[in-house]
Chains A and B, each alone.
Chain A
Amino acid sequence: MSQTNTKYNDSIVKGFIISALVWGVASMSVGVLAAFQMVYPELNFTQYFSFGRIRPLHTNAAIFGFALSIIFATAYHLIQRLCRVRIWSDSLAKIHFVLYNLSIVLAAITLPLGLNQSKEYAELEWPIDLLIVVWFVIFIVNFFATIFTREEKQLYAAIWFYIASFVTVPILFIVNNLSVPVSLTKSYSIFSGVYDANIQWWYGHNAVAFVLTTPFLGLMYYYFPKHIKQPIYSHRLSIIHFWSLIFIYIWAGPHHLLNTPLPEWLQTTGVAFSVMLWMPSWGGMLNGFLTLTQAKEKIKTDAILKMMLVGITFYGMSTFEGPLLSIRAISALGHNTDWIVGHVHSGTLGWVGMMSFAAIYYLVPRMWNTNLYSEKLANVHFWTATLGILLYIVSMWVSGITEGSMWRAIDSKGFLQYPNWIQITEVLKPFRFARGVAGALYLSGVFVMIYNIIKTIRNADSGFQEVDLRVKEQGGNV
């Protein structure tokens, strides 16, 4: 163990784990506040915490604060192990860490001030965008330099998914953020109207693909087999679903713009590819499940494995729901409603959240060289999170479908049955309240995890018990 500690740079991994915890709590707390604001408008404290300003704060902190921190922590961890070399440059990694967190801090300051360019998941104004480009370049130089200096010939499947993410995100980010600055805090998109919408949702949908999906599949491909000490079920399956996933995902954006003035052929292409996407997505899910069948006796006792199981299940569910919602008739009902909010959160809370927690529980004992303080608390976290997600999506399904149905309800004379908007809002309030409770439940689980981790870290260097199983079982030849 001591040998590997000196060979690899683990402090960068530790740094990103802590930044994930900080931004995770921040984003989810803001999310809970936003959820209750939609029932009790009095909770819009001052202009800085009114819903319109904190909603982008919630999404940015969750996607780019929490999820990206997890992605970087795992990327730095697994790339060194899978390439069997130390990260190419320690100082570049450190600069990346500092500038990255600086950009998230700036986001947390500027968004409540109302400085945003109004593009979903790309709200940050141009100076922060430039800062992001700087640290992203620093990161990918370091990441790819590590790959190119590797000592292991074969690039394992986990790395493919990270590579795909790190080449695609800059393309999406730069094109969608092209704008003309008019002052330090204000810019206008160079695209307008329909074109702007098309480019925004090409970006927006692929942020889901290449920030919230592919890196987490890579995470699954590494930590899942590592944890259960069994190889991934099928290498063949990973090949097909990787290449088809990245090829098809990029086309799916226009399903966000169905029944708008976007050209018809583009909408149809978006729908067709969205439906096709179901197959590669389930390829990943099946590879996960089939791998799990090799270790099913461990599910009962192991919180990490339970989290991965629920994570993969929600990946399967939300990638089934996605193509479903992209079908025109269903989009007509679900678009713009709470159903979509539920769909997104089944992916983020279920898939991204659970896989992230699993990775944290896997990494913390190993990085701080000690054992987890309490398996029991990890199980408590698992159950609060799972119940939280279920309550969240069920309340949003009911709310969204009710909402969509009430909008379109026509009476026997052909007039709108609910012409008064508030009438519909009132019906939805109990479900939206339940959503807030669900979010609070999920957040409380995160607090349990943080307590558990602080206790664990206090015990640092007491010696991590588990031995690398590949060494043990295969006679130390790896």
Chain B
Amino acid sequence: MKLFDILLDWFSGFTDQWEKQGVKFTVYTTIAVLIGGIFELIPPFFISRTAVPIQGVKPFSPLELAGRDIYQKEGCNNCHTQMIRPFKWEVDRFDPSKSYGRDGYSKAGEFVYDHPFLWGSKRTGPDLAHESQIQPSYAWHKTHLINPRDTSPGSVMPAYPWLFEEKATLNVKEIIDHMRGLSKVGVPYTEEDYISAERELAAKTEGDALIAYLLKLGKDTAELSKSIQ
């Protein structure tokens, strides 16, 4: 206890001074806060193994990207996670078809084109990281989105009928703008992608796009895993 008192005397000798000098106090407070922040935020960018793109992970196609925008707009990430943790019970539940071999959990490389990440923090509904391998049916997803109780009695998910209405037809120009924006932050879209967008998006609704996105989740890594096997 003696040592602690000496230490405290020494420290409060400084702080007593700072408390009389507003600028000094503010500057030292800022430094105290920055140390941890810098330590945590900067090194991951320089440790190359933090996020190695898994071979075969492709950027979202125009329709999938439009679907991702809808996923964000409707706040699906408030109830669904996209992060399968390395536990047997999670791998069993979210990789039931064993599409990923023994390692059915999420890897850093799967998210390299996710701006922003959508891992979520609350799992009210099931995890969707590998949804394409769990429920690959377009028709199922459409029925489920229009009224979740039709496919899953007892579900508490909101119904999303408006996504399939005529006024929910996608705006092609807008999505091409989104792709151009993403190319500025490192998603490798090419001129060909912008040209093909028009064809892919024609007469599609927000609901179609959302399903396309759900059917993309986990697809690339599953293909990679199968090719290795």
Contacts and interface: CB of A to CB of B under 8 A. Distances in A.
Interface of A: 37-41, 44, 47, 50-53, 55-56, 114-120, 144, 147-148, 150, 153-155, 160, 163-164, 167-168, 171, 175, 180-183, 186-200, 202, 236, 239-240, 243, 246-251, 253-254, 256-257, 259-263, 266, 269-270, 273, 332, 335-337, 340-341, 407-410, 415-416, 419, 421-422, 425-426, 429
A439 B129 CA distance: 32
B25 A196 contact: no
Interface in B6-41: 8, 11-12, 15, 19-20, 22-23, 25-26, 29-30, 32-37, 39-41
A193 B108 contact: yes
B2 to A, nearest CB: 15
A197 B35 contact: no
Given A41-B157, A246-B33, A250-B33, A195 B106 contact: no
B47 A263 contact: yes
A144 B26 contact: yes
B22 A144 contact: yes
Given A150-B22, A251-B39, A192 B186 contact: yes
Nearest to B187: A192
B93 A39 contact: no
9 A-B pairs closest in CB distance: A52-B75, A193-B111, A182-B181, A261-B108, A250-B36, A44-B158, A189-B116, A114-B73, A336-B123
B51 A422 contact: no
Interface residues of B, number: 88
Interface of B: 8, 11-12, 15, 19-20, 22-23, 25-26, 29-30, 32-37, 39-41, 44-45, 47, 49-51, 69, 72-79, 81, 83, 85-90, 92-93, 96, 106-108, 110-126, 148-149, 152-160, 162, 174, 177-178, 180-182, 184-186
If over half of A's interface residues share one DSSP class (helix, strand or loop), that class is named, otherwise mixed; here it is: helix
Contacts of A408: 87, 89
A311 B176 CA distance: 51
Contacts of B148: 41
A416 to B, nearest CB: 5
15 contacts: A50-B160, A153-B20, A154-B20, A155-B25, A168-B33, A182-B182, A187-B181, A188-B185, A194-B51, A194-B111, A198-B44, A202-B37, A253-B40, A261-B106, A266-B40
Nearest to B162: A47
A196 B122 contact: no
A38 B113 contact: no
A200 B37 CA distance: 12
A148 B74 CA distance: 46
Nearest to B74: A52
Contact of B117 (A193, A243, A270, A337): A193
A194 B153 CA distance: 35
Nearest to A49: B158
Contacts of B110: 193
Nearest to B49: A263
A11 B16 CA distance: 33
Given A163-B26, A168-B33, A408-B87, A154 B19 contact: yes
Nearest to B92: A416
A380 B36 CA distance: 44
Nearest to A51: B158
Contact of B22 (A148, A193, A262): A148
A192 B20 contact: no
Contacts of A40: 156
Which of B72, B108, B112, B117 counts the most chain A CB atoms within 10 A? B117
B76 A256 contact: no
Contacts of A39: 156
A435 B79 CA distance: 17
A189 B148 CA distance: 31
Nearest to B168: A47
Contacts of A186: 69, 178
